Chain A
Amino acid sequence: MKIPFIYNLRSIAQRPVSTAMTALGVALVVAVFVAMLALANGFRATLVKTGSPDNVIVLRRGATSEMESGLPRESARLIAADPRIAAGAEGRPLMSSETFVVINIPRAVGEGVNNVVARGVGDEAFAVRNVHIVAGRKFTSGRSEVILGKKIVPRFAHTAIGDTLRFAGRDWTVVGHFEASGSSLESEVWGEAEQFMPVFRGEVFQSIIFRLRDPAAFDEVKRALEGDQRLTVQAQRESAFYAGQSGILTKILTVLAVMITSIMAVGAVFGAVNTMYAAVASRTPEIAVLLTLGFAPRSVLVSFLAEAAAIAFLGGIAGALLALPINGIVTSTTNWNSFSEVAFAFRVTPGLLLAGVLFAVVMGLVGGFFPAWRAARLRVVQALR
């Protein structure tokens, strides 16, 4: 027969301080667990979002990032002729030829400068990359004008519309801000490719991105482009390319999160073990009575396990609540593949919270097992003496 769970809840209420401390220990572990994974999650989501599975990115063969790539204008012309590229508004191919450099611009706070991506684009980029102006206007062709991703605006100096940014030996007027549904493009400075080419890396593009008419035709397009004798290129799905860019850092963050929280978890389990042993010791006569009444030792075991799990569950909920406010906080790090700063937001998902609470319950069960085992094996006669 099952021992009613209310017995455990009342017992927990009997020693509120000890319960609260144990639960709080678990809560802190869960909070760190959720926060660190939210960091990794946010970084990955920001980069993954940058690429679309319908788009193809073409780089120079052997280049692992846009920074290392270089494609002559002739390549862009050859690729644009491919009939499998989707057509845009005026029947022109939905293809964006882009230049990519990393520049230093001064931060808004403090003295330092930071690396950001300066991307030279044409008109098609807005459609291909799904980018929208949220304030001001697009840059005008032939003018020294730039637009800024909205995540750059609060973090760097001279980023308001009408301000002047100085880089590459020229002054650039900020004429607009844009958003790109939270992707890493929002950490970039955009200008006209024809303006960026002469001041940066000359008459080459770094990447060519196009929308497929039929996303399933990717393999066919890849074969055609890579097999073309006139081109030395490699083609990747844009989504796969950006997911790959996030790989190393996401892995480091996840490994770090798991390592740190498992060590912390062991400490919290020790706390649960102490608490539950003390609970069992102080309730020895009670347990003996339960056994005398005819409850099976197995029921006692389950009952104490449930009590430990309940304490940890409380901790898990508290930890999840503690970690929740960090959702959406914007932070930044360097994307080591492009050597530039990427701003991203912590991303706490329901799945992550659930994982945190489950993690807490597991800690409770592990910590409660041996004390519960002892309770179940209590000798009635000795205990009642």
Chain B
Amino acid sequence: MKLLPLVFANLRRHKLRTILTMLGVALATFLFASLRSVVTTLNAGTEVASASRMGVQNATAIVFPLPMSYKARLEAVPGVKAVSWANWFGGQYGDGKVFFATFAVDPESYLAMYPEIVVPPDQKEAFLRERTAALVGRGLMEQFGWKVGQNVTIKGTIFPGDWIFTIRGVYTPSVRAIDDRSFIFQYAALDERLQHRISPGWYTLQLTDPSLAAGVAQTIDDMFRNSSAATKTMTEKAFNQSFVTMWGNVQFLMNSIGMAVVFAILMVTANAMMMTARERTGEVAVLKTIGFTDRTLFLLVMLEASVLTLTGAILGLGGAKLLYSGTGFNGFGFLPGFDVSAGTLVIGFAIALGLAVVSGIVPAVRAARLSIVQALRHVE
């Protein structure tokens, strides 16, 4: 560690070059963290999914409903503790430019099944009591500047017309991966206005024991195989995963761009290190003459490269972490709970170290192998 003052002195020599290279690494790690977080955020939805919850949807496609009569039959399946049902509503507010999820749920069973959706007891009471009440996520309340008790008009795209709801409750998700921008109202309100001509879009089941999932899914799908609406039953995780795959190959896209970014910056840092080393040939010879060993000189260059890239990484990764958690970025509503995970930070630092090794190794070996006589001969 006695070498550190020398390393810092060297870094201060070309202040501009040092700063630019550091910032280059900072930008690269920032981009890397952002890109990887898109993937981890998309996958987070599948990881927080409860193992004891399952979804039942129409086997043809999720846009087709399931009969209401299935409720009783699902409840009778061994291993099923509770059944809830819901419908996608597809509502728009105002000019319709802001996308948010709107669905109709059976309120009591739904809230019981999702303890992650936290509602103050008095608001929950008010939401359950009133047929046209709505429960809205905190994020959406803030975005539109809504207040509890306010009437809002939602335009239906699937169920045409203007629908007026009174906001009676605000929920806060206890895990970040659950969307805090959803608009939830009572299934009964939908059913009533459409004169009972609708039926649930999907059912959610609570199991008595997560290990029963495979058997329960088999039983249910067999039971309805030859009825008017065949079902597809899957765990919540598989259900969420099917949405992730709908984005196409995001993971591949993000990883390829991330690779390109890292390589581009590798070029910049490696170039800076080589230029630095070339300028110091004479100096290295002098250091060797006064007794610095080859190993020390090797270390000197490697340390310089590491300080450069790690400082850059601290700026870039720290910046990404602070920026995204500070601004509550949610990918224009498509990536609720966007967050830079600890894993991403660790990989980011590993990349920075890798950058240091790759960009430093050539100049470091060259410095260590330098022959004094040869080097000094070039100095005038």
A→B interface (CB under 8 Å): 17-18, 21-22, 24-25, 28-29, 31-32, 35-36, 39, 60-64, 67-68, 101-104, 112-115, 167-169, 200, 252, 260, 263-264, 266-268, 270-271, 273-275, 277-278, 331-334, 339, 341
Contacts and interface: CB of A to CB of B under 8 A. Distances in A.
Contacts, number: 139
Given A68-B90, A271-B268, 7 more contacts: A22-B267, A22-B271, A24-B264, A62-B155, A101-B61, A264-B28, A274-B268
B24 interface: yes
A113 B241 CA distance: 11
B31 A112 contact: no
Interface residues of B, number: 48
B257 A263 contact: no
A264 B17 CA distance: 18
Given A28-B260, A28-B263, A267-B28, A274 B271 contact: yes
Contacts of A167: 60
Nearest to A268: B264
Contacts of B16: 273, 277
Interface in B23-56: 23-24, 27-28, 30-31, 35
Contact of A25 (B61, B158, B242, B264): B264
Contacts of B270: 21
Contacts of B24: 267, 270-271
Given A18-B271, A104-B59, A115 B21 contact: no
B275 A263 contact: no
B261 interface: yes
B244 to A, nearest CB: 11
Contacts of B90: 68
Contacts of B279: 278
B63 A18 contact: no
A28 B249 CA distance: 21
A268 B246 contact: no
Contacts of A115: 61, 246
A268 B155 CA distance: 48
B153 interface: no
Contacts of A25: 264-265, 267-268, 271
B144 interface: no
B157 A274 contact: no
Contacts of B261: 28, 32, 260, 264, 267
B60 A252 contact: no
Given A18-B271, A263-B31, A277-B17, A333 B265 contact: no
Contacts of A24: 263-264, 267
Given A266-B27, A274-B20, A274-B21, A103 B61 contact: yes
A184 to B, nearest CB: 14
B240 to A, nearest CB: 13
B113 interface: no
B157 A114 contact: no
B63 A339 contact: yes
Given A25-B265, A28-B260, A268-B264, A331 B160 contact: no
Nearest to B17: A274
Contacts of B30: 263
A17 B274 CA distance: 9
11 contacts: A18-B274, A28-B261, A32-B261, A63-B160, A267-B265, A267-B268, A271-B272, A273-B20, A274-B275, A333-B248, A341-B248
Interface in B41-92: 59-61, 63-64, 90
Nearest to B332: A252
B257 A102 contact: no
B289 interface: no
A242 B279 CA distance: 60
Interface in B241-285: 242, 245-249, 253, 256-257, 260-261, 263-265, 267-268, 270-272, 274-275, 279
A318 to B, nearest CB: 12
B275 to A, nearest CB: 5
Contacts of A32: 257, 260-261
A252 B61 CA distance: 26
A267 B257 contact: no
B188 interface: no
Given A263-B30, A270-B21, A64 B157 contact: yes
B29 to A, nearest CB: 10
A29 B264 contact: yes
B230 interface: yes
Contacts of B64: 101, 200
Nearest to B359: A21
A284 B83 CA distance: 80
Given A62-B157, A270-B21, A103 B268 contact: no
Given A114-B245, A333-B247, A260 B31 contact: yes
